[in-house]
Structures are given as C-alpha cells and as structure tokens.
Amino acid sequence: MGARVTLWRTLQTFTVTRIVIALVLLLYLGIDLESGTLRPDPVNTETCVFYVLTAAMFALAARWQRRFLIQLGLQIAVDLLVISLLYLAAGGMRSGLGILYLFPLAGAAILAPLVLALFSAAVATLFLLGLNLWQLVIEGRDPPLMQAGLFGAAFFAGVLMVNRLAARLLKQEELASQRGADLRIQQAINEIVIADVGDGILVVGEDGAVFTGNPAARRMLGLQADAGFLLHAVPAFEPVALAFDAWLAAPDNDKGFVTLKPYREGDGAGDGEAEVRGRRDQPVHLKLRFARVADGFDAAGRSVIFMQDVSAIENQAQQLKLASMGRLTASIAHEVRNPLSAIGHATELLAEDLHGPAELRLLKIVRDNVTRVNRMVEDILQLSRKAQPNGEPVALGPFLEELKAEFCEIHGLAGDIVYIGDPGGSAVRFDPLHLHEVLLNLLNNAVRYASRQPASIRIFPARDAAGRRELHVQDDGPGITPEVRDHLFEPFYTTSSKGTGLGLYLARELCLNNDAKLDYEYRFDPSALGPRKASGRFVITFALE
C-alpha cells in the first residue's frame, strides 16, 4: 500500500515537471522573445502548444489515481512523440535536443516495470539510429552515427541503473511501511495492556516531571490528569519523590514501599509547591519499583515507576485470617484457657516442693510457656471486644513523659535512651488506655533492635501534607525489610520466637477504633538514625482535629 502511494505521488511530480519542461520549450522554440510573437515555424509552435495542453491534462488525470500503467504509458508515448517531432524539426543530432529523451526515459525507469522502460529506451534509440541512416542513405548527408550510438547506449545504461535503484528504494519503503504498521499495531496493543493492567505506571524525568501515566496510576494517586506536574512540588506525593531520588542515587535498590496520606486539591500548596487536580480520601500503601528507559538512543533521562497498591492485599489477608480466627475464639476461651490455668496452678504447687536447679529450670520453662500461651489467648479474646473509645483529647506532652518513665522502669533503661520530640502543647483525640497500649507495643518492638545508645529510640510528633497530626516511633536498628513489611500487620505473623504475631495487629485495630491509622513507613531524610537514609518508622496518623 505504501509503495502504491509513493508511485502515484511520484507520477504527480512527474506531470508537474512535464508542464515546466513544456513551457520552457514553448518559450524557447515557439515564441520570439524579442517581438513577443509566435515564431514562423508552425511545427515547433504547434507541437509545443500541444505539449503544454497535454501536460496539463496528464496532471489533472494523475489526481484521479486510477489505471496507473495506462496513464504512465500514454504519458511516455506522448513525451517520445513530441520530443521526436521537435528533434526532426530542429535538424537531428546536431540540434542537441536528443538530451530531452532522458526525461521520459528516467520517468519510465522509475515508475514502469523494467520491460516497459527498456522498450521506451529501445524506441528512442531506434528512432535516433533510423533518422541517421535515413540522412546517410536517402539524403546523402554525413550524420554523426557514433554520437547516435553513444546516446542509445547511454539510454539503456541509464534506464537499467535508475530502474534498479528505484526498485530497491521501493522495497525499502515497503519494508519501512510494513514495520511502521507493525509498530502501530504493537503500540495500540501496548496502550490497551497498559490501560487495563492493575499496576500503576508513571513515566518521569530525572527532575521528577511526570510525562504520562496509566489509569491505574491516576486511581492510586487520586489524579484527574496524568501529567504536567513535578512529584517534588506536590506535598502529597513527597514519599514517592523521595523514594525516586533515593533510587537515582543508588540504582541497585530499585524497590521500596511508601504510604500516601489522604489529600484534597490544594492541600499544603504554598510557595514553590504545585496544586494538582485530584483528591484521595483514604491512605494508600504502595510498593514501588523503578526502571530506567534505555533503548540504545537518547531517552532524555526518562524512567518508569511501577506502583502496586498493597493495601487491598493486606486487608484481604487479614480478613481471611480473621474469618478463621473468629471461629476459634469461642472454643479457645474454654478449651485452652481453663486447662492452661490448671497447668499454671500445678506449676506453682510443684515449685514449693522442688528445690533442685534442674527441676527449677524445667518449672521455669513450663511457667514461661504458660505465660506466653495465656498472653496469646488474651490477645485473641481482645480482638472480639469492641470497646468504645474515650473521645476526650489527650495532651501528648505529659502523656509521653509518663509513658517514657514507665517504659524505662520496666526495661531498666537509662532515661536518655528514649528521646521525645517537642509536642508543642498539642493534643489528640485518642483513648488514653488504647494509646498507651499501642505505644507500649511499639516501644517493646523498638527496644529489641535498638543499640540502647542515647536517643537510639525516638518518639516525635509531626504533620503530614494535609495537616494531620502524626506520631513517629523510630529506632536505630536494622529496620524492617520490604519482604517482612508485606506481612507486618497480619495476625499471627512474627519473626520473633517469643512473639505471638498479634501485637502489631492489635495496635492497628486499636488505632482504627479511634479513627486513626498505624503504618510502617519508609521516610528518606538525612537525619535518619543510624547509617540508613531510607529510614523506616512506625507512624500513627491521628484523625482530623
């Protein structure tokens, strides 16, 4: 199809060139430029006028784009006829008009099959040789036979060379056209796949400029438009921007997790910060993967951010475990707790009569495991309790200082190990008993991995991009890997041999019961504890004031 279009376009160019040549011949052979009148030679004048008119007709017919070979054959025949008449009228080879044959022969070599092109060259060559023989035999002249023969040889050589080159170019164009069609089909398929895929895809530059994104990305980010802003200039997307910067600095670490908080259009926009058209009413936890666009050419430093919403996966896993756990709760209360109490009581009685070190060590193992199982039973029973939280505001300053003193006393820690940031007289709506249990659970996790150096455990308030108050709990330990983070808040999932796997789940449920949110987030900041710049910490996001 592409070659046919090219042939018609070339034929139209050929007709326009014919009009120009015809007008030049008319001015040169048919009109006296000094007087502005027609020359007295009627053959040249009438032939040139005829040539101009037929050239115009051929140009109009070429726009019709029907019967290509018939149109091309008529045009070449008329060209050869007109040039031959002018050649005869000018006196033959010495007139120099034989060079005009190159125009129709070149057109035939480009547009016509090789046989037709060679036939046209043969007609022109035979005419030149025949005219020279006529002049030699009949008229007794001395025509330049050698020059006529050279013209004929040049006609055939030119036709062969131009025809082969044109055929090769047509094949290249057909191949390019086919590959272009295949590329368009592949591009259409890619657009369908990208638009339908569940993962979000953003194409960004090295400066964080968003060029495009698929519908899933717009849905995850809450956007109405997928381009035209900078990630770094939108406060709500700061976690994604910081994760992208960290990947640019360390390309080997191409994965990460971020949490985007709810926002509304215009939230947090200030000096140098952009507003985006969109909103998101619920927090979303995203798993990010980065890839650089590299195809062997200059890709203008563009990269692709793949985003997977793992919030739904986490919720589904929790619901599945809760469904099975709910069926066990009632039986655990009677079938496990009562025998467990009997075992614990028997252990205490045995401790009064046994005093050997081996017996005491065995009794301690029994007592510790009874305590552990009893704690698990208490945690499971607590899941079924829907206690109504106390809605009175809690002043964070005194509350955190009291919690710090209690925690350090329980674990025998120095007071400078736990650092509490200045809450600034802020207060939050959260049941104090629930908040105490949540923070105590987080601190118990932190003390397991912290170095116990001064300020190795930090509790500090902050605000997110939408102005919601946050409370961060962070330690200088090795942090939680993304693989563990996937299952962190699932019930009964634990990496500790002494844990039940319910502490963090209970903490999150208590936060939800107080219209708050508990999550483990990766923040990228130079003030991170320890050598890590991608610092993980537990973040409690309180309800709007």
Count of CB atoms within 10 A of residue 31's CB? Answer: 16
pLDDT band at 2 (very low <50, low <70, confident <90, very high): very low
DSSP 3-state of 413 = coil
pLDDT band at 495 (very low <50, low <70, confident <90, very high): low
Question: Mean of the pLDDT values across residues 118-137?
Answer: 86
Q: Please check whether residue 143 is in contact with residue 92, taking contact to mean a CB–CB distance below 8 angstroms.
A: yes
Question: CA–CA separation, 426 vs 423, rounded Å?
Answer: 6
On the question of pLDDT at 325 being above 50, the answer is yes
Hey, what are 527's tokens?
């003030």
Count of CB atoms within 10 A of residue 365's CB? Answer: 11
Task: Report yes or no on whether pTM surpasses 0.75.
Answer: no
Q: Is 50 exposed, middle or buried (0-12, 13-18, 19+ CB in 10 A)?
A: middle
On the question of pLDDT at 1 being above 50, the answer is no
Length of the chain: 545
Q: Please check whether residue 360 is in contact with residue 351, taking contact to mean a CB–CB distance below 8 angstroms.
A: yes
- Taking only the tens place, the pLDDT of each residue in 497-526 is 666 667 788 888 888 888 888 888 877 655
> Which domains are present in the chain?
2-181 (no CATH), 199-309 (3.30.450.20), 319-383 (1.10.287), 393-541 (3.30.565.10)
**Average pLDDT over all residues of the chain:** 79
Q: Which residue has the higher pLDDT, 5 or 41?
A: 5
Q: What pLDDT does 102 receive?
A: 86
DSSP β-bridge partners for residue 536:
522
Written as one string, the DSSP assignment of 159-206 is HHHHHHHHHHHHHHHHHHHHHHHHHHHHHHHHHHHHHH-SSEEEEE-T
Residue-wise burial string across 432-455, b where 16 or more C-beta atoms lie within 10 A, e elsewhere: bebbbbbbbbbbebbbeebeeeee
3-state secondary structure labels for all residues of 266-315 = CCCCCCCCCCCCECECCCEEEEEEEEECCCCCCCCCCEEEEEEECHHHHH
Q: What pLDDT does 534 receive?
A: 47
Question: CA–CA separation, 464 vs 278, rounded Å?
Answer: 17
Q: Please check whether residue 477 is in contact with residue 451, taking contact to mean a CB–CB distance below 8 angstroms.
A: yes
For residues 6, 7, 8 and 11, what is the CA-based torsion angle, rounded to 10 degrees?
120
- Taking only the tens place, the pLDDT of each residue in 84-102 is 888 888 777 777 788 888 8
Please identify which residue in the block is written with the tokens 């003030």: 527
Radius of gyration (Cα) for the chain, nearest Å? 45
Q: Where are the alpha helices (DSSP H) in 197-275?
A: 215-221, 238-249
C-alpha distance from residue 59 to each of 4, 25, 55, 121, 197 (Å) = 17, 18, 6, 23, 52
